[in-house]
Every structure is written in structure tokens, then in C-alpha cells.
Amino acid sequence: MKVKKIAVLTSGGDSPGMNTALRAVVRTCAFYKIECYGVYRGFQGLINDEIKILKTRSVRGIINRGGTMLYSARSNEFREKEGRVKAFENIKKHNIDALVVIGGDGSFNGGLIFQNEFNIPVVGIPGTIDNDLSGTTHTLGYDTALNTVMEAIDKIRDTAISHDRLFFVEVMGRDAGHIALNSGIAIGAQEILIPEENIGLDVLISSLKKSKSSGKTSSIIVVAEGDKTGKNVFELAKSVEKVFPDYEIRVSVLGHMQRGGSPSCFDRVLASRMGVKAVECLMDGEKGVMIGLNNGKINLTPLKAAIKGKSKINSELLRVSMIMNT
């Protein structure tokens, strides 16, 4: 079947590069004379029929803008069959042949269920700062978030050094430690705590003792949101404070500032490549796949594998960070 109308939506947590990918999808559709529809507020917008035609000029001026022009949402209604039936009715109403979902694992899961139930082809573009999908070395927004985190912690370091302080900095990643591990190496963290490793309090304390005895007067510990060493980063800091009562300890939670901002050059180029590929693979009859980047090349992974496989922590990076702590 020739694809004549494609709808595109952004879903889940926003990430820098979503707008750039949207622009690429819209312009690729225009290039191939396919009608493109933007769905506002993710899957909820499909249910509520917030669907508008997007032309080349509709996406001007967004290449460098963070967030998503289409808005995003986590839809509870779409989790229910009743909601998905309503969504499909709107797909039929607009004669839409295929759907591009820009989002993370939850959004892909929803997209896949929708495809299986109603036989509407779905293609995913990985948009999440967490980089927690299998089948791509980079998700959109990850590179930008890393640079944001690095710049923020560089600033915190100024205070850490000036006051001889120990800082615990919590970064995003509820299930994955990619942001923590990479930013931690980039800022020279004393330790990096990630959910995939869970090094434990004892190892952390001996590392701090070692660094103290070597003459280090300030340190930064980068903690991924999902790490389980303490109940949370504040409790963790309290436990460490008991062992080092003379150390001035502070906690800084970077939070949602990591999700915002203008996408980096890397994310803009990747988003453009992924947007083109998403439309072209739907034209080729593909469905149920995620666009990914591997060895510099754009490739496809079944959505199921992308979600289920999760992403593996790079053991070489773990080794580098360990050696840097010597």
C-alpha cells in the first residue's frame, strides 16, 4: 500500500531534538508529497482528535528549540483499550496510513500495542535524555543533556573547591546510569553511582577515605536518580556525614533543567537523519521498528527488542572512571 498520510506525535518526557526530528518528518513528507499530520499532546491528542495538518512552513524556526512544539503527555486513557479504540477512530477519520512516535520506551510500548490491535504501521524515533533503549547508541536529547549536566556540575565544582566541600549531585535516569556515568567522567567525579552497578555504601566510604588521606579536600559524587545505594540522595548524604562529621556535605539535585535547552549539533544532525529515515522506511513498508544509530549508520531495530533489550552500560567507561579515581 502506498503511504499517503502520515501522523507524527511526541510522547513521554520531552527531550532536546524532538522538535528537530518533527521538522525532519514534516519536511521529508513534503519532499515525497505525503500529507503530514501533527498530533498534539501525544497519544492523548489522538484520543481527543487534536490533529492538524503540518506543512513545510509549519515547522520553521524550531530546529534549535528545546521541548516539543506538539506538546507531550503521558496518557492513562491510552493504556485502556477503550481509549485506543477512540484514537483509532480519529486515525480513520483523517485517513491516516501510518504513525511516527517520537518518545521513549513507554511510548514505544503504547505504539506497538496500537499497531498490533489496529494494524496501523508505527515507527519510533528514540527521543529521551536517558539513552535507555537498545538498538541505538544515542537517543535524541542525550548528548544535549550530557552537556547541560557537565556545565552545571562544573559550576558546582567552583563552590566545592572554594569551601572544601563534598557534593552529592543527583542527575536524571530513573532506570539507567548513562547520564551519570558519562557526565561523571567528564567532570572528574570521585565516584559515580548508577542503578546498574549499585556499588554500596561501604565501597563509597572507603573511596572517600582513600581520597581524603591522599590530600583531596573536595569531591563530587554523581548519583543517578535510580541508584539504590541510599533511600535517596539526601539519605545517602546523611549516612556519609555520620562517617565524616568534619566534612561539609551538600546535595544538589539538577532535576528538569537537564531536559530543556537548545539541542546540541550532534542531536540536531541525528534528529534530522532519523526523521528522514522514519518516513522513508514507512514508504518501504516497514512497521514496528525503531530508528537507531550504530557505528555512525542509521539502522532499524524491532520496537519490541528496543524496549525489552534496555541499554547496556559501557564497561570500558566504568573502568576509565575507576582508574581516574586512583
Q: Which of 38, 45, 126, 173 binds ligand F6P (CB under 6 A)?
A: 173
C-alpha to C-alpha distance for 252 and 250, rounded to whole angstroms: 7
Assess 165 for contact with ligand F6P (CB under 6 A).
Answer: no
C-alpha to C-alpha distance for 287 and 303, rounded to whole angstroms: 9
C-alpha to C-alpha distance for 117 and 78, rounded to whole angstroms: 13
Assess 177 for contact with ligand F6P (CB under 6 A).
Answer: no
Grid-cell match 528538569, residue found: 256
Task: For the segment 40-99, give every residue that binds ligand F6P (CB under 6 A).
Answer: none
Assess 25 for contact with ligand F6P (CB under 6 A).
Answer: no
CA-CA distances (angstroms) from residue 138 to 88, 104, 147, 178, 291? 31, 12, 14, 10, 11
C-alpha to C-alpha distance for 119 and 101, rounded to whole angstroms: 15
Whether 130 sits among the annotated catalytic residues: the reply is yes
Nearest approach, Cβ of residue 234 and ligand F6P (Å): 17
Q: Which of 165, 259, 268, 277 binds ligand F6P (CB under 6 A)?
A: 259
Number of residues that bind ligand F6P (CB under 6 A): 10
C-alpha to C-alpha distance for 12 and 102, rounded to whole angstroms: 9
The interface mask with ligand F6P, positions 224-243, x = CB under 6 A, is -x------------------
Catalytic residue among 14, 97, 105, 130: 130
C-alpha to C-alpha distance for 192 and 58, rounded to whole angstroms: 43
Cβ proximity of 41 and 163 under 8 Å: no
Nearer to ligand F6P, 16 or 292 (CB): 16
Nearest approach, Cβ of residue 174 and ligand F6P (Å): 4
Nearest approach, Cβ of residue 42 and ligand F6P (Å): 12
Which residues, 6+ apart, have CB-to-CB distance to 321 below 8 Å?
Answer: 181, 184, 185, 189, 192
Q: Which of 4, 155, 163, 174 binds ligand F6P (CB under 6 A)?
A: 174
Nearest approach, Cβ of residue 256 and ligand F6P (Å): 6
C-alpha to C-alpha distance for 218 and 167, rounded to whole angstroms: 8
Q: Which stretch binds ligand F6P (CB under 6 A): 2-10, 24-32, 126-134, 262-270?
A: 126-134
Q: Which of 26, 54, 129, 307 binds ligand F6P (CB under 6 A)?
A: 129
Assess 312 for contact with ligand F6P (CB under 6 A).
Answer: no
Nearest approach, Cβ of residue 56 and ligand F6P (Å): 30
Cβ proximity of 169 and 252 under 8 Å: yes
C-alpha to C-alpha distance for 23 and 35, rounded to whole angstroms: 14
C-alpha to C-alpha distance for 145 and 18, rounded to whole angstroms: 13
Nearest approach, Cβ of residue 184 and ligand F6P (Å): 16
Catalytic residues: 130
Q: By the criterion CB under 6 A, which residues form the site for ligand F6P?
A: 13, 104, 128-130, 172-174, 225, 259
